[in-house]
Amino acid sequence: MAATKKLSSLFPLFSLLCFSCIFLILSISRKASISSSATRPNSFQFRPTDANATTRSDPTVAGDSPCDYSDGSWVYDPDARFDRYDSSCKEIFKGWNCILNNKSNGGEIVKWRWKPRGGCHLPPFDPIKFLHTYRDTNIGFVGDSLNRNMFVSLFCTLKRVSNDVKKWRPAGADRGFTFVHYNLTIAYHRTNLLARYGRWSADANGGKLEALGYKGGYRVDVDIPESTWEKAPSFHDILIFNTGHWWWAPSKFDPVKSPMLFFENGLPVIPPIPPDVGLDKVLKHMIRFVEKTMRPGGIKLFRTQSPRHFEGGDWDQGGSCQRLQPLLPEEVEELFSLKNYGTNVETRLVNQHLYEALEGSNIHILDITRMSEFRADAHPSTAGGKKHDDCMHWCLPGVTDTWNDLFVTHLNRLKIRS
């Protein structure tokens, strides 16, 4: 009994000694971990992509749970402050500067935050961290004016934190800048169809097209990249492509007066093919060209179609985009459903062609379509300075800033720590 009482009185002291030992062991372990982390070089390398590594905008790395950032909803925050950049950024095309142009909801557009489903979080990218991470890197945007929209958003964000910038354009680029301290170059290569095209007129001596009654139109060489970007794959470490808006543009390529006439291997494709089949051919050849000429370890992304929001008719038929808030899910389906085949049907039609063409390639898909379909409120509309509503391009600041959040998140997940 006395021995039991003695042991009982010593138990608190024994417990304290055990706790102290455990604490000491954990402390030593933690210090070793911190020391190891501090001495590990914080350098990155581009991971060579597998030939069959086409992915959507839900990249994962080992140990991570998958996030489909393309699916979610917009959440309004009345107190949100946007300090990434402002309307004073001189690279913003005048027609897109909705705050400077006094668009009624210009300041409200950035108070909507994209929230992916499933508990995933899409963080706004850190421009200073981006400059450090992608030091000594060349990034190229290749495509139509919607890719310029995105390029300008990225430039203005980086310019806000780094003023040591010089204008410098890689071969063929429409515009470009180098952030000198980081040796980081970003450039925009304008191309409407990706493939080379130009006016075509019937030859007086005749030919296969002439024999079919064609007198004029546009020659599109499906297997030849436009000169504005043909050298981009061998120069840039990261490329982001887009195409689509010009493929369904009867005002540019009138099916009767100025049709697209496709050529392959220097010869006209006979019988002549419609634009959607021509797009498939162009995508096949351009993807092959990029895979063949891209510098080793380079990252290639293809951005999905940016939706237009014309209501009541197309741009030349009195169409407008006067909404001041994002669309509801049922309104999105009404406007973009392929079954309705409405004014803005090109969005999902183009994506069908993209997904099929990119299947099995090593080009990653950056899916911005779904998140953008909701944002009928975020176009310049009448504030764009045109004779018609601009319901195609995006206000800056605006939706393309969220595209870049997704772009950078995707890039960071495609890189591995060495």
Domain annotation covers residue 329? yes
Look up the pTM and report it: 0.84
Domain annotation covers residue 401? yes
Residue 65: predicted pLDDT? 58
Q: What's the number of domains the chain is made of?
A: 1
Domain annotation covers residue 16? no
Over the stretch 280-336, which tens digit does the pLDDT of each residue have? 999 999 999 999 999 999 999 999 999 999 999 998 889 999 999 999 999 999 999
Tell me the pLDDT band of 339, cut-offs 50, 70 and 90: very high
Over the stretch 361-401, which tens digit does the pLDDT of each residue have? 999 999 999 999 999 999 999 999 988 999 999 999 999 99
Mean local confidence (pLDDT), 403-408:
97
Domain annotation covers residue 238? yes
Is residue 58 pLDDT above 90, yes or no? no
Residue 26: predicted pLDDT? 38
Half-sphere exposure of 345 (CA within 13 A, CB side): 9
Q: What is the mean pLDDT of the chain?
A: 86
CATH code for the domain of 230: 3.40.50.1110
Over the stretch 147-205, which tens digit does the pLDDT of each residue have? 999 999 999 999 999 999 999 999 999 999 999 999 999 999 999 999 999 999 999 99
Domain annotation covers residue 376? yes
Nearest 10 degrees: CA dihedral of 168, 157, 397, 349?
A: 70
Domain annotation covers residue 1? no
Is residue 35 pLDDT above 90, yes or no? no
For 186, the domain range is 44-417
Domain annotation covers residue 396? yes
Domain annotation covers residue 390? yes
Residue 256: predicted pLDDT? 87
Residue 316: predicted pLDDT? 87
